[in-house]
């Protein structure tokens, strides 16, 4: 079965520091991987995706993610965190329906 795992319920980081939100996947065949962000009382906003091509994917709001086939990972990164990045982040694999990880709450402190 296709799945993604987010091992951290919460990640805390100081503003200006780099951030990483981890995601590993278990997929048969080529993975179609996505990151979405959810702000309180808002819908899911698409951040970035990996379908094929370069392993380093750049997305919205300065976020990027690195696809690592050998480690079956797709970690979300940002070089310098902002307080406004504080939100709930979901990794997902697309099998025509999205299968989400359990989510990681990112808290950026001033």
Partner 1 sequence: AAGVIQSPRHLIKEKRETATLKCYPIPRHDTVYWYQQGPGQDPQFLISFYEKMQSDKGSIPDRFSAQQFSDYHSELNMSSLELGDSALYFCASRPGQGLDTQYFGPGTRLTVL
Binding residues (CB under 8 A) for partner 1: these are 32, 34, 36, 41-46, 49, 51, 90, 94-103
Nearer to partner 1, 82 or 88 (CB): 88
Q: What's the closest the beta carbon of residue 108 comes to partner 1, in angstroms?
A: 21
The 3-state secondary structure of 11-70 reads EEEECCCCEEECCEEECCCCCCEEEEEECCCCCEEEEEEECCCCCEEECHHHCEEEEECC
The nearest distance, CB 65 to partner 1, in angstroms, is 14
Do 59 and 107 form a contact (C-beta atoms < 8 A)? no
User: Of 85 and 90, which has the nearer Cβ to partner 1?
Assistant: 90
CB of 61 to partner 1, least distance (A): 16
Kindly tell me which of 15 and 49 has the beta carbon lying closer to partner 1: 49
| Mode of pairing for the β-strands spanning 104-109 and 10-14 | parallel
Number of residues that this document lists for the chain: 110
Q: Smaller CB distance to partner 1: residue 42 or 69?
A: 42
- In whole angstroms, how close is the CB of 18 to partner 1 at the nearest point? 25
Return the number of other C-beta atoms located less than 10 Å from residue 53's C-beta: 8
């Amino acid at each position: 079965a296709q799945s993604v795992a987010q091992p951290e319920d919460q990640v805390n980081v100081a503003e200006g520091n780099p951030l990483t939100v981890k995601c590993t996947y278990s997929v048969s065949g080529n993975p179609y991987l996505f990151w979405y962000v959810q702000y309180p009382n808002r819908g899911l906003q698409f951040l970035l995706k990996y379908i094929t091509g370069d392993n380093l994917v750049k997305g919205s709001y300065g976020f990027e993610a690195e696809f690592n086939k050998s480690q079956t990972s797709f970690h979300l990164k940002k070089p310098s965190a902002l307080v406004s990045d504080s939100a709930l982040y979901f990794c997902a694999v697309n099998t025509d329906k999205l299968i989400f990880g359990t989510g990681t709450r990112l808290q950026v402190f001033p």
